[in-house]
Amino acid sequence: MNKRAVLLHNYVAGSQQWFPKENFFSRDGRLRRYGCGVIAAADYGIYRHIFDAPGEREAYLSLVREMERRFLRVIPGFGISAYLYAGLMNLMFRRMSVRERLGGVSFFFNSPKARKRLLAIIQEQLSQDRPVILILGSTPFFFKKRRGVTLYRMDNDVPEAAKQHVAAHFVTVTGIYEDSQKTMLEVYSWGSRYLMSADEYLEAARYTYPFSNRVYRAKNTAIES
């Protein structure tokens, strides 16, 4: 696939699964099960040099614990609200005297206009060497069929499904790849690199809670909200 836009530097991602299996209500237990939003925030901050890059895994986990304690509190069984995420991140940046600010853009339908806007936002951010955080919305309980997004890995230049029905989850976009038939987003989650179809992401928005499919991007961009 052809590279359309990527970050300027290598992206190193952490994983919520690095936390030990502990009690449901303990901090490590919460982060292991529902800490994907805090992980995405930590990885964003490390890449943007807001935080010093931890030299070892335990230092990384300590950073995530501190972020969760002070700013990005994880609710057991729920995680972090898509509506509050950008505001909590910006509060953290202000407390740290960092000029970075994030804003959220909702995608709750699939259309050519929405697709064009999604890719324009991501490409603009990547050109500024800024990762883009996406939330994959959760499916309402009254839908019997499992919904969500499939994450792929490449096998001999053919995308093969690696994880299916991924929902209620934060991922980080680091690149856009395309060919004549499809456009794929390079995303990081659970410490690994995957590909995700831009069209499947927007299609999933039809079946998720209103406004829960959101893109978090730096606000000092030329693209209008």
The rounded distance, in Å, linking the Cα atoms of 65 and 16 is 11
204 in Cβ contact with 136 (< 8 Å): yes
Query: CA dist 111 to 81, 142, 215, Å?
Result: 25, 24, 16
- Say if CB 11 and CB 187 are below 8 A apart: no
CATH code for the part of the protein at 2-218: 3.90.70
DSSP assigned state of 75 = B
d(CA 16, CA 35): 6
Q: What are the boundaries of each domain within the chain?
A: 2-218
Q: Is the pTM of this model over 0.75?
A: yes
Per-residue pLDDT in tens (0 to 9) along the chain, 225 residues: 888 999 999 999 999 999 999 887 899 999 999 999 999 999 999 999 999 999 899 999 999 999 999 999 998 888 898 889 999 999 999 999 999 999 999 988 888 999 999 999 999 999 999 999 999 988 765 565 667 899 999 887 778 899 998 988 999 999 999 987 899 999 999 999 999 999 999 988 877 776 678 999 998 644 443
Backbone phi and psi for residue 164, each to the nearest 5 degrees, phi listed first: -115, 160
Cβ contact 107:209 at 8 Å = no
Scan for tokens 């030990």, then name that residue.
Answer: 20
How many Cα atoms occupy the beta-carbon half-sphere of 23 within 13 Å? 3
